Amino acid sequence: MGIRGAAGGRATRGPVAAAPHTWTVSTAPGGVPLLGHALPLWRRPLDFLASLPAHGDLVAIRLGPQRVWLACDPALVQQILMDPRTYDKGGPLYDTMRMVLGNGLVTCTQGVHRRQRRLAQPCFRPSRIADYAEVMSAEIGAAVGEWRSGRTLDVTDAMMDLSARVTTGVLMSTSLDPGLAAEVRACLSTVMRGVLLRAVVPLGPLYKLPTPGNRRFDRALARLHHIIDGIIAERRGSTARHGDLLDTLLRATDDAPGPGGHPAPEGTPSKCPHATAPQEAPHEQDPLTDQEAHDQLMTFLVAGIETTALALAWTLHLLAAHPEEERRLHAEVDSVLAGRPPAPDDLPRLGHARRVVTEALRMYPPGWALTRVTTTDTTLAGHRLAAGSTVLYSAYVLHQDPVAFPDPQRFDPDRWLPERAGSVPGGAMLPFAAGNRKCIGDHFAMTEAVLALAAIAARWRLRPPSARTVRPVPAAVLSPGPLPMVCEPRRGPDGTAPAVPSEAP
């Protein structure tokens, strides 16, 4: 499968229609009666999906009685993402995720997306990200400062701890206490494993049975909802101004002005280009309801903690396996920071750190596979899709294309130098999706990741205690699984080691 400059054969209503092109449409090999391709997709989803571009540009996957279409070419994926009215959020994964996140910004359909995006947008303006970066730096420093020389960390778990501190600190001014934070992480782990199972093997009635796995899923989900409700109730009952993300979110009103200074009606273009069809929703100037606040808070916690934590865990794993890139990173942070903790003003000078994170996101994108559902009959790759068809795209598969990324298995942060990044075809790199459903927190996530990586690299070198193969664990997000590493204090530019506590008494 190659990257094609032309993208013809696509629906004429799509915003990226181009000259005609001959596409290849096929069905994945190896399906079995009743289950279709559910078993290989459950047992080895990355290998299975990565094998499908060899069979066509648009490949049908059978999951029980359902059929899902994998878009293998970046041009087709761009068509899907840039036309959210035709290809709306939906499919087995999103339908299942709504059980966890509710109808928040990530999972809501296009009909309510405009209101939700407009209410949430003030939380992620550049000026607010700059404010959050101060909190991020403090929370990152506190987390990294608790590490001990000679201690073996599960880096995946440590990054979850760090990201939970950052996210809750930015979101609610204060971190969750350690016990509650650990409970949230455990619940998230149980729930997200259950989400993948229910999405890949959509046998709805079976998940109502009182099996041990179903009971664990239900208990974890109920506990998460209870924690979120308590956070919102506490904040609603307080008159104090906290100046944090939740404060901004709860006080926001959907009052973007239309012509003549009046609120813009649905369907009217505005500075936030996410107009949608008419819908039933709260009045334009109403703030978030308690249920909307619940769903958004759940969304920000899940998206803000798990995805950034896994991106950092993969980054640290890759650096440990590539000592030359690690040395380059250390040289940069030593030069920029000169022994002090990283601050928001340092971000423009931490270019290599940003490229390292970007390359880790290319190789192991946390959001590795996502779906859309057609809202009307349409054409994709010259193939007619009926309304209600499920379409799948995989950032993991796209990021492994050797045409877009020569030698794609090689960890090469310099791919993202300006003189090289410009050669990457449009739509080939999608760690945060694209279009008006692109992740609203992409700058937030990159700011946190670069600050965290700089803080860690300034003080520590992380080494696996023994040689082992790390294999991606694809659940709702792509995880390295447990990642044990030993904390080694490193020497700064003056040849002295940082003052760090030892694990030994």
pLDDT digits (tens, 9 = 90+) for 224-278: 899 888 888 888 887 777 778 888 888 877 554 433 333 333 333 333 333 333 3
* CA–CA dist 438, 430 (Å, integer): 9
Residues 169-195: b if buried by 16+ CB within 10 A, e if exposed: bbbbbebbeeeebebbbebbbbbbbbb
pLDDT of res. 352: 98
Select from 253, 291, 307, 309 the least CA-distant residue to 441.
307
Lowest pLDDT segment from 190-194, 273-277, 329-333, 480-484: 273-277
pLDDT of res. 180: 80
* CA–CA dist 258, 269 (Å, integer): 9
Q: Is the pLDDT of residue 366 over 80?
A: yes
Q: pLDDT-derived band of residue 4, with 50, 70 and 90 as boundaries?
A: very low
Residues 338-366: b if buried by 16+ CB within 10 A, e if exposed: eeebbebebbeebbbbbbbbbbbbbbbbb
pLDDT of res. 248: 83
> What's the angle, vertex CA 378, arms to CA 376 and CA 381, rounded to 5?
150
Q: pLDDT-derived band of residue 459, with 50, 70 and 90 as boundaries?
A: very high
pLDDT of res. 262: 37
Q: Are 459 and 486 in contact (CB under 8 A)?
A: no
* CA–CA dist 263, 278 (Å, integer): 14
What are the phi and psi torsion angles at 422 (to 5°)?
-65, -15
In 98-181, beta strands by DSSP E:
152-154
pLDDT digits (tens, 9 = 90+) for 143-170: 999 999 999 999 999 998 899 888 888 8
pLDDT of res. 20: 52
Mean pLDDT, the chain, as a whole number? 84
pLDDT of res. 275: 31
pLDDT (mean) for 72-84: 95
pLDDT digits (tens, 9 = 90+) for 278-300: 334 444 567 788 898 899 988 88
* CA–CA dist 130, 148 (Å, integer): 30
Residues 470-485: b if buried by 16+ CB within 10 A, e if exposed: bebebbbbbbbeebbb
Contacts of 260 (CB under 8 A, 6+ apart): none
pLDDT of res. 241: 77
pLDDT digits (tens, 9 = 90+) for 40-58: 988 899 999 999 999 999 9
pLDDT digits (tens, 9 = 90+) for 392-423: 999 999 999 999 999 999 999 999 999 999 99
The residue behind tokens 């994998």 is: 70
